[in-house]
Structure 1
Amino acid sequence: MPEYGCFLASEEHGPAALVEQARMAEQAGFQALWISDHFHPWNDAQGQSPFVWSVIGALSEAVSLPVETAVTCPTVRMHPAVTAHAAATCAVQTEGRFRLGLGTGEALNEHILGDRWPPVRVRLEMLEEAVHVMRRLFTGEEVSHHGTHYTVENARLYTVPDEPVPIDISGFGPKAISLASRVGDGYITMMPKEEMVTSYLPHSRLRSNGGTPTGGGGAKLVSGGTKVCYGADREECVRTVHRLWYNELLPGEMGQVLPSPRHFEQLHELVTEDMVRQNVVCGDDPDEHAAALRAFADAGFDRVYVNQIGPDQRGFFDFYRTKVLPRLTGH
């Protein structure tokens, strides 16, 4: 049986609200936390984007749940040595309950320093080299590195956890999944597709039913997430999703290449409310919510994270505590 976690949306909430949601998540019975790492929100209606590393520091004092970034891009806006420094400190603060989720990023967040936004092939190369640099730094030894994309000279992390920070790689296409399989301690995706899990872990069907990953690479963790909108008025929920998170339904590579929130806002009209009805769980049917998360479990995921869209966070946590999580866990 997988663990069920809460996905904290930094694009939609400020730091104090995110910490309070983490507290409510723990009280509701969620077992882990994801938190997004962006410089910008996807659109101005979302309205927030705090510095994730400061928020994780607060989370380490507020809750006892595992925390993971979903996901950080350690290649352009943040040099891998700086990312490793931040991640190692978070792992120490959380007493080993931190995982570093990584991806190739989006121009929306990564172009802000005026750097060229490279094509996906180069971004994958950069991510692989960044992982190599960070793993060396997590040892606490002095590192010098002169690679294709990064230079590190006489760098040493003095504050490191007892065990190296686990690194999970986000991937959707075959090249990214291959990279995750090659260099990741775990794999992250937002689609409940068994073929993606088996592509990452060819022997994933051998995983035990007791919740401990046993197939493929041993203890490699497969995590997935989804967004929902809980509320008594289903149509109001649809309108909330359409207003705040229409970007989730934009086709193709636009999410990776558009450089600013206003560009996403220009594409709002491409997403209809009917598309939201067909693709996002909205309303207060507990079986519908449970089915969306169970789809990940059925596909072989170890952890499944859910994010509530919109302002009714307390209602969402009460609903999941009393109606949804019991359906999933049998408690």
Structure 2
Amino acid sequence: MWRIANKKISLGVGFIPSLSYSALLSMIELMENEGYEQIWCGNEKHYRDMWVTMGLVSANTKNLEVGTFIAEPYSYHPSLIAAAIATVFEATNGRANLLLGSGGFGFRNLGINRVKPLLALEESVHLIRQLLAGEIVSLTGKVIYAKDIQLLFDSNPDIPIYIASRGKLIQQMAGRVADGAMLATHATPNGLHESQKSVITGCTQSGRDINDIKIFARIDVCIDQNNELARSTVKPMIAGMILASYPDQTFITQAGLQLSSEFETILNNTSFNEVYSLANELVSDEFVDAFTWAGAPGNVANKVAAVIDAGFTNICIVPHAPPGISITKIIKDFTTEIMPRVRALL
């Protein structure tokens, strides 16, 4: 826990499980030594398995909260998610977080259609909560079906359930029913506040106060003394993010941005790999500033300070590394190079 300008700052790391397990063990040791509080284990299709990774992390940490990044109800039934997170909670003596979302790439390859994600997630929250409370559950929902399901071991009903999204309706739902929300994509005070407004709307609908739930800012980060190298490193990720949501451009317009006609033409006529390869030409600096903390340490520190000053104090960084650099270095640089500068600024 960092304390800056009378604010308690909680730092976590979300990562794609592309690391070897030996590299992961080094990373989590560093994270505990550097005072990170959460690790969010990625669930990208056909990378290393999220739940196995969480087990490894659980067995090799003492303080880190271990979370899903994310669990989705399409390739894994919510009842199985409930059983898995209850197992991690038991293995960590209460250090488990469940972060639900609608998922990223890879569904088409599996022949899975992500139908009605808003309903799927809301039904999942209710089903998982009931199962964690020890109930026998049947549900014929709009998306989720369950009949006479019960966890066959003792579980804890207080495992926190968070929702990750950059979509307004799902953010509203998080405010209505979840223990918190992870606001994805936006990296500026204005962008995060716009997302937070949706969560507040959901809180109001259910008679809750925004202060009763937890808000995480999830932000992609790349740090390098070579400012332009750091910024070019994140551009393929931004291009992929835009492609994943296209034709929906809500999060882009919410940031006050607009896709160029050239970018839209390419999105409509080329494959993911082609969009990815053209990222440095297509993704402008305005998009880098709106959706990432990328650049030299001083520039990144200014962006972090602005977000903390705006009241966002639970921060999940997603590290991106330039060629030849490990994400572990980015994680360390954030605490050794960025946070001291942020403290000086505030």
Change (3 A) 1:172 1:254: same
Residue 253 of structure 1: aligned partner: 246
Pairwise CA distance, 1:290? 2.3
1:249-281, CA deviations, whole angstroms, 9 ceiling, x for partnerless residues? 54843699xxxxx94212125522583654144
Q: Is 1:167 aligned to residue 173 of structure 2?
A: no
**Letter paired with 1:86:** A
Note if contact 1:96-1:161 (Cα within 8 Å) is conserved in structure 2. no
**Letter paired with 2:337:** K
Q: Distance in 1 between matches of 2:19 and 2:171?
A: 30
Q: Distance in 1 between matches of 2:227 and 2:149?
A: 53
Residue 336 of structure 2: aligned partner: 322
Residue 177 of structure 2: aligned partner: 183
Residue 153 of structure 1: aligned partner: 147
Pairwise CA distance, 1:55? 0.7
Q: Is 1:53 aligned to residue 64 of structure 2?
A: no
TM norm structure 2: 0.76
Q: In structure 2, which of residues 288, 299, 312 is the aligned counterpart of residue 288 of structure 1?
A: 299
Residue 222 of structure 1: aligned partner: 215
Change (3 A) 1:322 1:218: closer
Pairwise CA distance, 1:221? 0.2
Note if contact 2:175-2:202 (Cα within 8 Å) is conserved in structure 1. no
Residue 89 of structure 1: aligned partner: 87
Residue 116 of structure 1: aligned partner: 113
Query: Which structure would you say has the larger RCO, counting Cα contacts within 8 Å and 6 or more residues apart?
Result: 1
* Partner SS for 1:69: strand
Q: In structure 2, which of residues 291, 311, 314 is the aligned counterpart of residue 300 of structure 1?
A: 311
Q: Is 1:69 aligned to residue 92 of structure 2?
A: no
Q: In structure 2, which of residues 136, 140, 144 is the aligned counterpart of residue 142 of structure 1?
A: 136
**Letter paired with 2:280:** T
Note if contact 1:25-1:317 (Cα within 8 Å) is conserved in structure 2. yes
Aligned residues: 302
Q: Distance in 2 between matches of 1:244 and 1:199?
A: 25
Residue 211 of structure 1: aligned partner: none
Pairwise CA distance, 1:7? 2.2
Q: Distance in 2 between matches of 1:128 and 1:147?
A: 10
* Partner SS for 1:201: helix
Change (3 A) 1:288 1:4: farther
1:48-85, CA deviations, whole angstroms, 9 ceiling, x for partnerless residues? x21111111111122211122232212x1111111111
Note if contact 1:15-1:50 (Cα within 8 Å) is conserved in structure 2. no
Note if contact 1:95-1:161 (Cα within 8 Å) is conserved in structure 2. no
Q: Distance in 2 between matches of 1:179 and 1:318?
A: 35
Q: Is 1:265 aligned to residue 262 of structure 2?
A: no
Residue 233 of structure 1: aligned partner: 226
**Letter paired with 1:305:** C
**Structure 1, unpaired ranges of 5+:** 41-48, 205-214, 257-261
**Structure 2, unpaired ranges of 5+:** 1-6, 250-269
Q: Distance in 1 between matches of 2:244 and 2:109?
A: 24
**Letter paired with 1:89:** T
* Partner SS for 1:267: helix
1:211-249, CA deviations, whole angstroms, 9 ceiling, x for partnerless residues? xxxx81553100011122222333433443346664245
Q: Is 1:312 aligned to residue 312 of structure 2?
A: no
Superposed counterparts of 1:18-29, under 5 Å? 18-29=24-35
Q: Distance in 2 between matches of 1:79 and 1:307?
A: 26
TM norm structure 1: 0.79
Identity of aligned residues (%): 24
**Letter paired with 2:326:** D
Note if contact 2:174-2:202 (Cα within 8 Å) is conserved in structure 1. no
1:104-153, CA deviations, whole angstroms, 9 ceiling, x for partnerless residues? 223x23344423343xxx22112111111111111123223333323323
* Partner SS for 2:106: helix
Residue 30 of structure 1: aligned partner: 36
